Structure 1
Amino acid sequence: MEEGGALGGLARVVHLLVLSGVWGMQMWVTFASGFLLFRGLPRHTFGLVQSKLFPAYFHVSVGCAFANLCILVSQYSWAQLTFWETSQLFLLLLSFMLAAANDLWLEPRTSAAMWALHRVEKERGLGQEVPGSRQGPDPYRQLQAQDPKYSALRKTFFRYHGLSSLCNLGCLLANGLCLAGLALGLQTL
């Protein structure tokens, strides 16, 4: 960033705080909370928690990416962008687009498919067990083999969930690369 940017030092501090804050949130949600909740809660309770957590998570991710883009756009001299400045803008734009896709398109579809799965599972008395606690054959796989509607719902759910996970990892990587670039650009501590 140029020293003579419109907002100067304050903008750089806000940019760093927002970027590091959202990256920390993304690390926690992606690698800690999901695994802990999945292993500790009944299946349907886990789904309920995720359906409440993810919309807020994606809203915050979109807002932070947008704020960072606005800050950087105001700081750069567009006539003389360096490779790093162009890369950082691209990475933050990518993060914004992936977070927006999750927020506006993938999360609502993933949750809708999950609720449809839960309805079918509840009819069969499933959903209250903690994953890994059951012995014997997997009742969900049995239900999938017996019920074509349930099988199709699972495929829909996992397609949207997989796309959402890829978008989330893309945001995490883009923001992590931005942070790494900022750290490598530090002259002194």
Structure 2
Amino acid sequence: MCIREVSTGEESDNEMQNQDQNKSQDESQYSDVQNAVLNSEVIPDQVKTKIRKVIDKYTERSNIKNADTSNNEKKINLQPEKETDVVAQTVNNIKIFTDFTTKYWETFKQSNAYKILFRTTQPAHVIAIIAVLCIVSAVVPRSDDKVNNANESHSKVLSLIYLTSFILHMGSQFWMTFVSGLSLYFALPKRNFSEVQRVLFPRYFTINACFSITTLIIFLKYHAFHTWDTEIAIQVSALFTALFLELVIRLYLTPPLVGLLSAKVAIEKAAGIGTKVGSHNLGPLENCPHYVKMNRAFRKIHTIIAIGNILTMVCTVIHLNYLAGKICF
């Protein structure tokens, strides 16, 4: 049987230190001999001059060699740092931008404009009205639509935007519903999962609503109202239903849900519950009427949002089936 000796990092460091000590001792002995020869009274001055020239040449060569060696070592040692610094610098720049944005966002939250936009229902009504007006303007035909509709060619840019918005919309729906949601629910403690939901819900329905209105408006642009048949009417109804549900959820259901989540998490932290994965035990809060009422309201809103999300996915699948029938290979 063969036994290998594995040298540790400490042994290698000790060897390097020993080599440096031996090198410094040799240099000191050489310096002593050099001084003894040059200061000797027996050796003639001419010989000392020649010896000094030889020593100077040797010293110069040695310094050049040591400088080249140190430069090579620096290049070798600094190369990984340069590669690491690129990533570190990128992350640092992102952090600076995030801190800058967060700072001004926190300042904006103290203003009256923020209170009007996010703590009242009027902005939600305005957004809903603007969305409806955009759809109506796309549905109502222009005076020259009937004449130019037959000769109108589809723009590749608009077609690309249309397909991209629909694909991203459908992808985000399936990822959030079947992958991210279920994975995080069975991987994180209940309290942490609630905090993740509080952050993701507004962003999820905001992005989906933007994708829905983009898909619907471009689809209506290429299908004028006077050209609708049963198939096109079904697609317009499906796309409009998806947009309507996502707008209602984002504007009127998500804000109270987020508020209930924040209050629930604060109470659960104070009570020391919500640390289990994949289950939720009320513990000492089971007999708390305030928490029970809040939890019941949260479950009610969450169930309505879940049903609305499933209906929007059904509408998306209907339109996907329509697109699949139009593909020609």
Give yes or no for TM over 0.5.
yes
* 1:184 and 2:325 correspond: yes
The one-letter amino acid paired with 1:83 is T
- Equivalent pairs counted in the alignment come to 181
Which protein, 1 or 2, shows the higher relative CO under an 8 Å CA cutoff with sep ≥ 6?
1
Q: Helix, strand or coil for the counterpart of 2:282? A: helix
Determine the C-alpha separation between the residues in 2 that align with 1:159 and 1:130: 22
TM-score normalised per structure 2: 0.52
Task: Give the equivalent residue in structure 2 for 1:32.
Answer: 179
Map 1:1-189; keep pairs closer than 5 Å: 4-5=151-152, 7-132=154-279, 139-140=281-282, 143-144=285-286, 146-186=287-327, 188-189=328-329
Percent identity between the two aligned chains = 23
Show structure 2 runs of 5+ residues with no match: 1-148
CA contact (8 A) 2:273 2:283 kept: no
Q: List alignment gaps of at least 5 residues for structure 1.
A: 133-137
1:18–1:68: 8 Å Cα contact kept in structure 2? Answer: yes
| Alpha-carbon distance in structure 2 between the residues aligned to 1:23 and 1:3 | 31
Q: Deviations over 1:147-189 (max 9, x none)?
A: 1111111110001100111111111110111011110222x22
**Alignment correspondent of 2:84:** none
Any conservation in 1 of the 2:238–2:319 contact (CA below 8 Å)? yes
User: How far apart are the structure 1 equivalents of 2:283 and 2:317?
Assistant: 37
Tell me by how many angstroms 1:7 deviates: 3.8
Structure 2 Cα separation of the partners of residues 139 and 13 of structure 1: 49
Secondary structure of the residue aligned to 1:41 is: coil
Residue 6 of structure 1 deviates from its aligned partner by 6.0
**Change in 2 beyond 3 A, CA 1:100/1:141:** farther
Cα distance in 1 for partners of 2:174, 2:158 equals 24
> 2:257–2:298: 8 Å Cα contact kept in structure 1?
yes
Return the offset for 1:103: 1.0
**How many angstroms does 1:141 deviate by?**
6.3
Q: Deviation per CA, 1:114-142: give whole Å up to 9, x if none.
A: 2222222222111233235xxxxx73166
- More displaced, 107-116 or 89-98? 107-116
Alpha-carbon contact 2:162-2:215 (below 8 Å) kept: yes
Alpha carbons of 1:84 and 1:5: their partners in 2 closer, same or farther (altered >3 Å)? farther
C-alpha displacement of 1:5: 4.5
The alpha-carbon distance between structure 1 residues 151 and 17, as it changes in their structure 2 partners (threshold 3 A), is same
RMSD: 1.9
Whether the 8 Å CA contact 1:8–1:75 is kept in 2: the answer is no
Offset, 1:4: 4.7
